[in-house]
Amino acid sequence: MGPVMKATSLWKIYPSGESSIQAVKGVNVTIEVGEMVAIMGPSGCGKTTLLNILSGIDEPNSGEVTVKNQPLFGISDDARTRMRAEHMGFIFQDFNLLPVLSAVENVELPLLLLGNSASEARKGALAALKSVGLEDRSEHRPAELSGGQQQRVAVARALVHNPAIIFCDEPTGNLDSGTSGEVLELLLRLNHERNTTFLIVTHDSNIAEHCSRTLRMSDGVIIEDQRKSEEE
């Protein structure tokens, strides 16, 4: 079946006056089906830049990324947009929910964009909300939900189309410690029960401790790739 994602020799260089900043330097990484991978490192180490390249938000100066053995770059913008819509889900620190839409309307958006009928999208969205314990909040708008509930809606939106991989950028960064723990438990359950693959940029060591693998970055390179044994 092959890996969910593979990156080879990724470089990202930003011009900075008369010099340049090497944000990502020759990174190689492979993500297998069902892995829950944390990316950690100090601010400015390149972890968010790497996440943006792997998710197709940004392009590398050189190197290759494949998703389910298909190239993410060197294709048309429309093809890359379609690949991201079909195979990727996203969970952000600030939730990124549309405030004028209800929870179920926010969650069904990925299905509608993929061409599902309105009835199919609504059915899928309600099932996704049920999987995160929010079936009774489906008609509530984001402002009527707590931070933890909003992030659960964001999780439901990320998984509603059964993507190959879900990218998380500081998914607990705006939550208190108790709510952060609840969101982490939800992600772990989805990983174990649905074999959902996660790639998580985080400063939260508690998240990293529960992931099956942790990548540590410094100055644009991966300096450690630590896998948790099955006994841990």
Give the CATH number, domain containing residue 49. Answer: 3.40.50.300
Residue 49 belongs to a domain: yes
Residue 71 belongs to a domain: yes
Residue with tokens 């470089």: 11
User: Tokens standing for 72?
Assistant: 């993410």
Residue 51 belongs to a domain: yes
Judged by DSSP in three states, 12 sits in: strand
Distance CA 71, CA 203 (A): 30
Q: What local confidence, expressed as pLDDT, does residue 176 receive?
A: 87
Q: Are 138 and 187 in contact (CB under 8 A)?
A: no
Residue 80 belongs to a domain: yes
Residue 232 belongs to a domain: no
Residue 161 belongs to a domain: yes
Count how many domains the chain has: 1
Residue 19 belongs to a domain: yes
Parent domain of 110: 5-227
HSE-up of 194 (CA within 13 Å, CB side)?
21
Element (H, E) at 110: helix 103-113
Q: What local confidence, expressed as pLDDT, does residue 1 receive?
A: 56
Residue with tokens 């099955």: 230
Straight-line distance from the first to the last Cα atom of the chain, in angstroms, rounded to the nearest whole number? 27
Distance CA 7, CA 205 (A): 25
Which of 214, 219, 189, 218 is CA-nearest to residue 199? 214
Q: What local confidence, expressed as pLDDT, does residue 158 receive?
A: 96
Q: What local confidence, expressed as pLDDT, does residue 208 receive?
A: 92
Distance CA 202, CA 200 (A): 6
Q: What is the pTM of this model?
A: 0.93
Regions in the chain scoring below 50 on pLDDT: none
Q: What local confidence, expressed as pLDDT, does residue 232 receive?
A: 54
